[in-house]
């Protein structure tokens, strides 16, 4: 059995947005800007025999939020960390949109490793604000020369930055 293993080092760019907006308010704002979907619903829809045009319309009408994103999953780290005397509210969200993802994956299938995207929303230690942490999507997806991928990933960066700005602005 032959196999090739190639190592491709790259650097992600971590973004940390600190705000005095309270944790619950940031989550409320994010939820109000996004749709919600179980990823299996997207697959079921795609496999239902509809056309690409019908798929696009259905995703936009049924799942997309105002921001163009939808929440796929929420992991409540704060819900279990207190067992270890770490008393901070913190959630990791996985969010995205297959209509955005395809604009990048069509240029490099491995972009799917980082689509959908993730954020970590953490209440500050003094409980007076929130920190939103994420990695700039283009810094994860574009690790080799690929201008079409870079163009689409840069659009995702801007859309993602805008979502976070709307949720965290005073």
Give pLDDT, residue 132: 98
Return the CATH number of the domain spanning residue range 14-168: 3.30.310.70
DSSP state of 68: S
Q: In what order do the strands lie in the sheet with 130-135?
A: 14-19, 130-135, 117-123, 90-96, 70-76, 35-36
CA-based nearest residue to 33, from 113, 124, 119? 119
SS3 category, 2: coil
Domain ranges (residues) in the chain: 14-168
pLDDT of residue 2: 80
Instruction: Encode the chain (170 residues) as per-residue pLDDT tens digits.
Output: 788 999 988 899 999 999 999 999 999 999 999 999 999 999 999 999 999 999 999 999 999 999 999 999 999 999 999 999 999 999 999 999 999 999 999 999 999 999 999 999 999 999 999 999 999 999 999 999 999 999 999 999 999 999 999 999 98
Residue with tokens 């969010």: 95
10 Å Cβ neighbour count for 30?
24
Q: Give the pLDDT score at 49.
A: 94
């Amino acid at each position: 059995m032959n196999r090739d293993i190639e190592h491709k080092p790259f650097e992600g760019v971590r973004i940390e947005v600190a705000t005095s907006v309270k944790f619950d308010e940031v989550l409320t704002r994010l939820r109000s800007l996004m749709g919600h979907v179980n990823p299996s619903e997207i697959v079921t829809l795609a496999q239902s025999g509809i056309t690409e045009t019908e798929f696009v319309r259905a995703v936009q009408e049924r799942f997309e939020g105002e921001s163009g994103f939808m929440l796929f999953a929420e992991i409540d780290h704060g819900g279990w960390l207190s067992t270890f005397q770490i008393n901070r509210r913190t959630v990791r969200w996985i969010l995205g949109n297959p209509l955005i993802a395809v604009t990048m994956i069509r240029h490099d299938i491995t972009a799917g490793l980082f689509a959908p995207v993730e954020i970590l929303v953490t209440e500050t230690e003094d409980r007076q604000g929130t920190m939103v942490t994420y990695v700039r999507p283009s810094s994860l997806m574009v690790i080799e020369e690929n201008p079409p991928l870079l163009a689409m990933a840069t659009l995702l960066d801007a859309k993602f930055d805008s979502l976070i700005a709307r949720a965290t602005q005073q």
